Amino acid sequence: MNTSIRFPRPTRRLLLAAAASAILIRPACADALSDGRFRAEVAAVLRAMLPGAEILPDPDPKQILFGGSTITLTNLYPRIAPLAGDARRRLIEAHLATALKAVNAPPSTGEPSLAAVRTQLRVQLLPREILRQVPDLATRTFSETLVVAYVIDGTDRMRYLTRSMLDGWGVGAGAIPTAIEALALANLAEASKDAAFALAVADGTPIFVMTSEDDNYDAARLMLPSYLDRVRSALKAEAVTVAIPTRDLLMAWPADSKARAGFAAQVRDRLRKGPYGRSDELFHADAAGLRPLTAAERADHGR
């Protein structure tokens, strides 16, 4: 089978390999940022700066959840990587000192108003287990394995909304769909108009889509009907099966693909290898919307 890759709209190149009737995804080798070693290093410095600091569990190794805020490490790591010893530690301390100014600001002056951050609101899909680790997160059920969470996407960090923060804004649980989620989805949809994905074509037939935007929201785009319409159009399929094994990977293929069992197996493999694991759940997307696969459809995918 001759397989070619077409890249609609602005894209980043992805590594795909053909094997039998399936497309196998080769995960990139993990570095200290991706596998959590750098986060552990930064956490140790943070604990030295603030003895007794409570650093909460976070499924994303590129950030630290602390004091109700998320301190991102993606901008710091490239600057730190070539350094060692005291110079490395001093730069980590300086980065943390800047981040902690916002974390430790008094609520009366440090907490942004809803009006101030409304254009920065986004949605994220997180594994349901996160609720055991951070029970105050503002979430709603999305599926059997996933919950919808809400974030403020700032220039240097991503902050998850908590129920106490929403209480401070006067947003009750019943108002979240209109006051928060509708805004967050609209913002993500606007930012995703040119979001890229790669299309694999075999013998002139589109067979597989995978995302390549790598902006922290590839999985969250599962919630965007307009984006899924683009995916269905690219695959020339009325119905597609979609999965989000990690935060930075959305996979899709025609629902009746001959390789569907192989693709479904790849979803589980990607979830296992991570990073930023989300779910191995499979979803059906068509003109009527998005839903989890039925038991019969899961069996048809080898599940």
Reply yes or no: is the peptide bond before residue 135 cis, omega within 30 of 0.
no
In terms of domains, do 66 and 118 share one?
no
What is the 3-state composition of the chain as percent helix, strand, coil, each rounded to the nearest 5?
35, 25, 35
Q: Please give the pLDDT value at position 14.
A: 36
177 in the same domain as 145: yes
Using the 3D structure, point to which of 92, 110, 128 is the last residue of a domain: 110
Query: Both 10 and 56 in a single domain?
Result: no
What distance in Å separates the CA atoms of residue 46 and residue 89, rounded to the nearest whole number? 10
* Same domain, yes or no: 242 and 159: no
Residue 4 has pLDDT above 50, yes or no: no
**Final residue belonging to a domain, choices 191, 219, 248:** 191
Query: Are residue 292 and residue 204 in the same domain, yes or no?
Result: yes
Interatomic CA distance for residues 65 and 124, integer angstroms: 15
Closest CA to 165 of 142, 141, 186, 134: 134
Q: Note whether 219 and 253 are same-domain residues.
A: yes
**Integer CA distances (angstroms), 275 to 58, 122, 150, in order:** 12, 21, 20
Give the pLDDT mean for 122-137.
91
Quick: pLDDT tens for 133-151.
Answer: 888 999 999 999 999 999 9
Within this chain, do residues 10 and 42 fall inside the same structural domain, yes or no?
A: no
pLDDT at 25: 42
Distance CA 91, CA 274 (A): 28
Round to whole Å and give the CA distance between 78 and 32. 11
Partners of 149 in beta bridges: 124, 139
Last residue of a domain, one of 51, 80, 110: 110
> Measuring CA to CA, how many Å separate 120 from each of 152, 214, 283, 296?
5, 18, 28, 40
Task: Of 29-38, 203-212, 222-231, give the range with the top mean pLDDT.
Answer: 222-231
Q: Is the Cβ–Cβ distance between 208 and 252 less than 8 Å?
A: yes
231 pLDDT higher than 60: yes
| 101 and 161 belong to one structural domain | no
Same domain, 141 and 166: yes
Q: Is 233 helix (H, G, I), strand (E, B) or coil?
A: helix
Residues 288 and 203 in one domain: yes
Domain span at residue 207? 3-29+196-300
> What is the torsion angle, in degrees rounded to the nearest 10, for the CA atoms of residue 117, residue 228, residue 220 and residue 116?
0
Read off the DSSP letter of residue 64. Answer: E
Confidence of residue 111 (pLDDT cuts 50, 70, 90): confident
179, pLDDT greater than 60? yes
**Domains: count for the chain:** 3
Rounded distance between C-alpha atoms, residue 293 and residue 300, angstroms: 10
Share of the chain above pLDDT 70, in %: 85
Structure tokens at 80: 């730190």
Looking at the structure, tell me whether residues 208 and 286 fall in a common domain.
yes
Say whether both 180 and 275 belong to one domain: no
- Residue that the structure tokens 């350094």 belong to: 83
In the chain, the amino acid numbered 66 is: F
* In the chain, % of residues over pLDDT 90: 59
Query: Across the strands, what pairs with 17?
Result: 24
Cα end-to-end span (Å), the chain: 26
List pLDDT tens digits, range 38-89: 999 999 999 899 887 778 767 778 888 776 667 878 778 888 888 999 999 9
Q: How sure is the predictor about 30, in pLDDT bands with cuts at 50, 70 and 90?
A: low
